[in-house]
């Protein structure tokens, strides 16, 4: 597969907090949240909740969902879909890849 | 004899003791302290506004879309009228379940949901608490107890009714249904003005009047003053002392219906006596006071729906009046002007033009707010004084003439019993 996306290095898996499973980074001026799930997989979404003005990196991960710290609305980390109220609009999901222990995020959302 | 006692608003028990004695003469006298005593005021808020009454909140056309809201008050209590996701209209308390702050600060607007600015507790359009910040703490520390249930901390939703596009609410679970509460006569007046056509909001006027809220209520139950205080009425022939009129107390005196007829300018014996009747004055723009023939055929009718709303027609101007008490010696008066969706452009223009008679600078209404301030100042200076309401007799029988204070007597008959005074 030809790699046509532009990749930006944002950190290492070890930098993702073992306590929260999240890391807030900035990609081309946009706040992005990195997640490390229980199965060890790593994902990236927009960091700002689609409902209130909150950082999802301060949220709570459970069963592949990120719960917003502000009003407990949940998003599917893999798809960005809004799963529970008050969140209705989805959040952006970013493609990632890991090479040489470095996480790369594409500036283009998937 | 007294007026009908059917549909009398019930009274809830309130533990406020008031050591006052009503004058021996009964409801033909009104002691000054009903307009000034803070304990009386507090009891009125609890017994009436928070009691078994139905309170006017607004018109459906004020909240046309999902999320459209109007801030309102029922007595002292701030509430919000809002259209929910299903398109139904809710009336919820304007009070965060957390610390009690008002969650809505603007008179009207449109939102997706409500967020209290203080700690950003978030509520849906039905008042359900959706989420609270840092419920799970921050970075694993703090947070609400695990058993904290957001379902238990929603905002109270009031019982509501939609009658022809007008929205009413009650805090009470025991208030009778709205139709029973209003009674036949009042309901007929509301239905006359709101015949089921879609309504169109035309505008508002609001003013703060430095007098007790009951003075405004009495003023709208007092046709006696109409041709005496309002020189505009008689000068330009809108209303005369010999006009065909009716005063009908209902709901045990709480509500009332008042009807008169705009019969045009005509000099008669009754009006000749009025010193303010000026034959030599002509209004330059007669359209200001001339209604286009409509369903009411010159009938100037109005219903006072206790405690704080009036539905009425003035020429072609359709309006509701709503009184918001602001302490013992002040109240806010809000006129909401509306028309029907099928009004032609000219009728809408006339409805707006005739609204010039009403509101804070209205050709007629401006006399009332000035006068009520003078009354409040007069009685506040003489707290042991009493007023006399014997015009038209000492009874509470409906009257088929205008020069009568029967509606005020009937009101105080109801009031004394409800307030246990």
- CATH number of residue A28's parent domain: 2.102.10.10
pLDDT means per 10 residues in chain B (421 residues)?
76 78 96 96 97 98 98 98 97 97 97 95 96 82 89 96 98 97 96 95 97 98 90 73 83 93 55 55 84 76 95 92 98 98 97 95 94 97 95 94 94 97 93
- Length of chain B as a residue count: 421
Q: Which of B130, B135, B136 sits opposite A86 (nearest CB)?
A: B130
Question: What residue ranges in B111-178 does DSSP mark as E strands?
Answer: 114-115, 122-123, 129-131, 159-163, 166-170
| Residue A25 forms part of a structural domain | yes
d(CA B122, CA B130): 6
Interface confidence, given as ipTM, is 0.71
Q: Where are the domains of chain B?
A: 54-161, 186-419
- Which of A69, A74, A83, A89 to mutate to probe the B interface, most B CBs <10 Å? A69
Q: Which of A72, A85, A86 sits opposite B135 (nearest CB)?
A: A72
Which fold does the domain B54-161 belong to in CATH? Rieske Iron-sulfur Protein (2.102.10)
Compute the nearest-CA separation of A59 from chain B (Å).
Answer: 8
In chain A, residues 28-47 whose CB comes closer than 8 Å to chain B: none
Residues B241 and B391: beta-carbon distance below 8 Å: no
Is the minimum CB–CB distance between A24 and chain B shorter than 8 Å?
Answer: no
| Residue A37 forms part of a structural domain | yes
- Length of chain A as a residue count: 110
Q: Report the 10 Å Cβ neighbour count for B203.
A: 13
Residue of B nearest to A88 (CA): B112
- Number of structural domains found in chain A: 1
Omega cis (within 30) before B25: no
CB distance A72–B131 less than 8 Å?
yes
Is the minimum CB–CB distance between A65 and chain B shorter than 8 Å?
Answer: no
CB distance B115–A52 less than 8 Å?
yes
Determine if residue B165 is left, alpha or beta; phi over 0 gives left, psi from -120 to 50 gives alpha, anything else beta.
Answer: left
- Per-residue exposure over B269-298, b if at least 16 CB sit within 10 Å of its own CB, e if not: ebbeeeeebeeeeeeeeeebbbbeebebeb
Question: What residue ranges in B10-67 does DSSP mark as E strands?
Answer: 29-31, 55-59
Compute the nearest-CA separation of B96 from chain A (Å).
Answer: 15
Instruction: Spell out the residues 6+ positions from residue B273 whose beta carbon is closer than 8 angstroms to its own.
Output: none
| Residue A107 forms part of a structural domain | no
Q: Which of B124, B130, B140 sits opposite A20 (nearest CB)?
A: B140
CATH number of B186-419: 3.90.380.10
| Residue A1 forms part of a structural domain | no
Residues of A in contact with B153 (CB under 8 A): none
Residues of B in contact with A69 (CB under 8 A): 133-136, 138
The pLDDT value given to residue B237: 65
| Residue A85 forms part of a structural domain | yes
CB distance A19–B139 less than 8 Å?
yes
Tokens standing for B128?
């359900």
d(CA B34, CA B142): 52
Tokens standing for B129?
């608490």
Tokens standing for B176?
């009778």
d(CA B379, CA B329): 11
- Domain B186-419 in the same topology as domain B54-161: no
Q: List Cα–Cα distances, B225 to A100, B209, B265, B394, in angstroms.
A: 92, 18, 19, 18
CB distance B140–A86 less than 8 Å?
no
Question: By residue range, what is the domain housing residue A19?
Answer: 15-100
Tokens standing for B153?
């901390």
């Amino acid at each position: 597969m030809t790699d046509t996306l532009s990749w930006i290095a944002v950190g290492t898996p070890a930098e993702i907090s073992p306590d929260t499973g999240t890391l807030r980074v900035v990609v081309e001026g946009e706040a992005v949240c990195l997640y490390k799930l229980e199965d060890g997989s790593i994902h990236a979404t927009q960091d700002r909740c689609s409902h209130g003005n909150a950082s999802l990196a301060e949220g709570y991960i459970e069963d592949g969902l990120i719960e917003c710290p502000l009003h407990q609305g949940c998003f599917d980390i893999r798809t960005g879909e809004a799963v529970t109220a008050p969140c209705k609009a989805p959040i952006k999901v970013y493609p990632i890849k890991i090479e040489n222990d470095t996480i790369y995020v594409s500036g283009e959302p998937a | 004899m007294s007026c009908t006692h059917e549909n009398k608003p019930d009274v809830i028990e309130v533990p406020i003791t008031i050591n006052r004695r009503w004058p021996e003469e009964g409801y033909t006298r009104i002691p000054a302290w009903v307009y000034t005593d803070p304990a009386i005021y507090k009891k009125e808020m609890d017994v009436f506004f928070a009691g078994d009454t139905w309170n006017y909140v607004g018109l459906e056309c004020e909240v046309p879309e999902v999320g459209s809201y109007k801030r309102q008050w029922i007595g002292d209590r701030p509430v919000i009228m809002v259209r929910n996701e299903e398109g139904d209209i809710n009336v919820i308390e304007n009070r965060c379940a957390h610390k009690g702050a008002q969650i809505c600060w603007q008179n009207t607007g449109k939102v997706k949901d409500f967020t209290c600015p203080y700690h950003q507790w978030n509520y849906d359009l039905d008042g359900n608490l959706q989420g609270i910040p840092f419920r799970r703490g921050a970075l694993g520390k703090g947070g609400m107890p695990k058993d904290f249930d957001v379902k238990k901390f929603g905002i109270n939703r009031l019982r509501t009714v939609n009658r022809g596009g007008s929205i009413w609410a009650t805090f009470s679970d025991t208030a009778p249904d709205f139709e029973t509460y209003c009674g036949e006569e009042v309901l007929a007046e509301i239905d006359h003005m709101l015949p089921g056509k879609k309504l169109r909001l035309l505008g508002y006027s609001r003013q703060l009047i430095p007098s007790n809220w009951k003075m405004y209520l009495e003023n709208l139950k007092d046709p006696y003053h109409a041709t005496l205080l309002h020189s505009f009425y008689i000068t330009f022939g809108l209303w005369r002392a010999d006009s065909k009129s009716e005063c009908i107390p209902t709901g045990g005196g709480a509500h009332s219906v008042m009807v008169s007829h705009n019969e045009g300018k005509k000099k008669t014996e009754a009006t000749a006596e009025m010193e303010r009747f000026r034959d030599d004055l002509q209004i330059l723009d007669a359209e200001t006071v001339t209604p286009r023939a409509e369903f009411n055929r010159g009938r100037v009718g109005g219903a006072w729906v206790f405690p704080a709303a009036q539905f009425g027609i003035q020429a072609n101007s359709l309006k509701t009046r709503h009184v918001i008490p602001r302490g013992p010696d002040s109240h806010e008066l809000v006129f909401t002007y509306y028309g029907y969706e099928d009004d032609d452009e000219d009728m809408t223009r006339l409805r707006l033009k005739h609204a010039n008679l009403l509101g804070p600078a209205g050709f007629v209404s401006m006399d009332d707010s000035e006068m009520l301030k003078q009354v409040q100042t007069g009685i506040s200076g003489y707290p042991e004084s009493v007023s006399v309401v014997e015009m038209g007799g000492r009874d509470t029988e409906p009257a088929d003439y205008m020069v009568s204070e029967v509606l005020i007597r009937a009101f105080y008959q109801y009031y004394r019993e409800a307030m246990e005074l």
